[in-house]
Amino acid sequence: MPFKDLREFIARLEKEGQLKRIKEEVDWNLEAGAITRRALEENLPAPYFQKIKGYPAGYEMASGILGNIQRVAIAMDMAPDAPVKELIEEYLKRKDKPIKPVMVKDAPCKENILKGDRADLLKFPVPMIHEGDGGRYLGTWHITVSKEPGGDWVNWGMYRHMLHDSKSFAILAPPPKHFALMMEKAPAKPMEVALVIGTEPISSFCACTPMPYGVSEVDVAGGLRGEPVELVQCETIDLTVPATAEIVIEGEIRPGDMKDEGPFGEYTGYRSEQRRPRPVVRVKAITHRNNPIFTMSCMGVPVDESAAAFAVCKSASFLDELRSKGLPVTGAYLVPEGASHVLVVSTKVPYYNIAGEIAHVVWGARHGCLTPVVIVVEDDVDPCNLKQVFHAMMTKCHPWRGINKIEHALAWPLIPWLNNYEREFRIGARVYFDCTWPIDWKPADIPKRMSFAEAYPEDVKKKALAIWEKYGY
């Protein structure tokens, strides 16, 4: 059964030992961030803050709730220890059966409707997440809802939102993000935005997954849940939002309204870009549940929410794209420890330079520019097993033939190895590592791998395994 709301998911995480309630008073100013960061780095349960300094009882905060692969598995209603390969294939199966949302009239997110002066963003414990961030961040685990100007396509994204003041906040969504493409369609008109905080887990997960242009993430969320998402109409703008959300902020971006945003400690594990003018969202209304639960994530050195969620949804999208081109790939894994920068692909090798074919499909896919490193291994290597991948890389990748550098390529501005000039103009580079044996080597010339599975005849292995059983070691 899919989770109805965030509260049900929190209860399940706690039952699985993946969430810890913290009753002690914690400061929104850096303390909640520091506790979350350490919990993520040590792979400890997600911290659930029950008393936030300066905020009334009942204003609680959940942090790091999809901060490892196990929590993503729980969100998908699968066994917490399901192998990530299974999660990727299950995700692909379910996302191909989207379910349209249903509209409801009575919605928990309308328990409190705040307009005018009462619509105050500081009512919520918006955290200062890292020392040196450009401000308190209102949106770090949420849904940003927008509609294509002149069309029906509704997009859900997850784009960071820095608080400017009690009535306005920023958005960071550079092209090719869908929000940016929607803004470009009608630059002279106001753009309505709903910021939804505290949803059941799949809706927020879908907001950070790379769907194709024109696809509504809410339909895919329905497919992944196996049940439609329930939506309700906003109060002051023409958008709909998940009915069981904890907090909904309604607002609009006016043409030319820009203000400095950032910097921010990011999913790459660094704070690496400059403060820059970015669009401002002006608040029109806020609605929230009684005792609203705020959600945050503390990006930084992986693994955190982006790394864990992307290891499933982005691996799946790349795999889908490669398969759709008829390439004989057997697996793909966006390595969580690699900050979204590296995709490992396993494949059969039917012809020359399959590694190059694969790498270019990856880079041509949506969000390809965020993943400048591609490692291609043969199908006897599990791309999700980093020990196997590293061994293949160190033994099969020729330092000159196997490492292929692309000197000129579109960069993603958050990549830490860019200098300031490259970051500004998005001038990047890419590389793929070909860890396959050359197609023109005779079978007899190919080195034979010396593993238990491959270096012994079956009868010897059988006898050896019998020894194991007999001595119990």
Ligand X SMILES: Cc1cc2nc3c(=O)[nH]c(=O)nc-3n(C[C@H](O)[C@H](O)[C@H](O)COP(=O)(O)O)c2cc1C
In terms of CB distance, is 178 or 284 closer to Mn ion? Answer: 178
Q: Does 75 bind ligand X (CB under 6 A)?
A: no
Q: Does 157 bind ligand X (CB under 6 A)?
A: yes
Q: Pick from 158, 248, 286, 354: which binds ligand X (CB under 6 A)?
A: 158
Query: Which listed option, ligand X, Mn ion, none, makes contact with residue 294 (CB within 5 to 8 Å by class)?
Result: none
Residue 212: CB minimum distance to ligand X, A: 9
- The alpha helices in 16-130, defined as continuous H runs, are 31-41, 69-75, 84-95
Q: Is 472 exposed, middle or buried (0-12, 13-18, 19+ CB in 10 A)?
A: exposed
In terms of CB distance, is 41 or 379 closer to ligand X? Answer: 41
Query: Which residues within the stretch 209-228 sit at the binding site for Mn ion (CB under 5 A)?
Result: 211
Question: Whole-angstrom Cα distance, residue 269 to residue 291?
Answer: 33
Residue 459: CB minimum distance to Mn ion, A: 56
Check 90, 266, 273, 305 and give the catalytic one: 266
Tokens of 26: 């914690």
Query: Which residues within the stretch 116-145 sit at the binding site for ligand X (CB under 6 A)?
Result: 140-141
In terms of CB distance, is 108 or 134 closer to ligand X? Answer: 134
Q: Which residue has the tokens 């790091």?
A: 64
Residue 140: CB minimum distance to ligand X, A: 5
In terms of CB distance, is 68 or 155 closer to Mn ion? Answer: 155
Q: Which residue has the tokens 């894994």?
A: 333
Residue 365: CB minimum distance to Mn ion, A: 14
Residue 178: CB minimum distance to ligand X, A: 3
Strands, DSSP E only, in 91-190? Answer: 102-103, 112-115, 137-139, 142-147, 154-157, 161-165, 168-170
Region from 43-51, 170-178, 239-247, 385-393 binding ligand X, contact rule CB under 6 A: 170-178
Residue 240 Rama label (left phi>0; alpha psi -120 to 50; beta): beta
Question: Whole-angstrom Cα distance, residue 464 to residue 335?
Answer: 35
Residue 378: CB minimum distance to ligand X, A: 30
User: Would residue 424 show up in a list of annotated catalytic residues for this protein?
Assistant: no
Q: What binding mask, one character per residue, do residues 248-287 give for ligand X by CB under 6 A, x or -?
A: ----------------------------------------
Q: Pick from 71, 177, 225, 278: which binds ligand X (CB under 6 A)?
A: 177
Q: Does 177 bind Mn ion (CB under 5 A)?
A: no
Q: What binding mask, one character per residue, do residues 134-163 give for Mn ion by CB under 5 A, x or -?
A: ---------------------x--------
Q: Does 159 bind ligand X (CB under 6 A)?
A: yes
In terms of CB distance, is 110 or 178 closer to Mn ion? Answer: 178
Cα–Cα distances in angstroms (integers) from residue 256 to residues 195, 239, 428, in the given order? 20, 22, 29
Residue 264: CB minimum distance to ligand X, A: 8
What does the DSSP 8-state code read for residue 177?
Answer: S
Residue 9: CB minimum distance to ligand X, A: 16
Q: Pick from 36, 70, 199, 209: which binds ligand X (CB under 6 A)?
A: 209
Query: Which listed option, ligand X, Mn ion, none, makes contact with residue 359 (CB within 5 to 8 Å by class)?
Result: none
Beta strand 342-347 with 240-242 is unpaired
Q: Pick from 160, 178, 289, 430: which binds Mn ion (CB under 5 A)?
A: 178
What does the DSSP 8-state code read for residue 189?
Answer: S
- Axis-axis angle for helices 84-95, 305-324 (nearest 10): 60
Query: Is residue 216 within 8 Å of residue 203, measured between CB atoms?
Result: no
For residue 176, whether the previous peptide bond is cis, meaning omega lies within 30 degrees of 0, is: yes
What does the DSSP 8-state code read for residue 411?
Answer: P
From the list 160, 271, 152, the residue with the least C-alpha distance to 208 is 160
Q: Does 208 bind ligand X (CB under 6 A)?
A: yes
Question: Whole-angstrom Cα distance, residue 434 to residue 365?
Answer: 19
Q: Does 173 bind ligand X (CB under 6 A)?
A: yes
SS3 466: helix
Question: Whole-angstrom Cα distance, residue 299 to residue 36?
Answer: 9
In terms of CB distance, is 12 or 178 closer to ligand X? Answer: 178
Q: Is 113 exposed, middle or buried (0-12, 13-18, 19+ CB in 10 A)?
A: middle
Q: Does 12 bind ligand X (CB under 6 A)?
A: no
Query: Is residue 354 within 8 Å of residue 325, measured between CB atoms?
Result: no
Residue 357: CB minimum distance to ligand X, A: 25
In terms of CB distance, is 108 or 251 closer to ligand X? Answer: 251
Query: Is residue 283 within 8 Å of residue 167, measured between CB atoms?
Result: yes
From the list 340, 300, 414, 314, the residue with the least C-alpha distance to 63 is 300
Q: Pick from 7, 160, 271, 288: which binds ligand X (CB under 6 A)?
A: 160
Q: What binding mask, one character per residue, do residues 288-327 give for ligand X by CB under 6 A, x or -?
A: ---------x-------xx--x------------------
Q: Does 244 bind ligand X (CB under 6 A)?
A: no
Give the residues lining the site for Mn ion (CB under 5 A). 155, 178, 211
Residues involved in catalysis: 266
Q: Where on the chain is the footprint of ligand X (CB under 6 A)?
A: 140-141, 155, 157-160, 172-174, 177-179, 208-211, 297, 305-306, 309
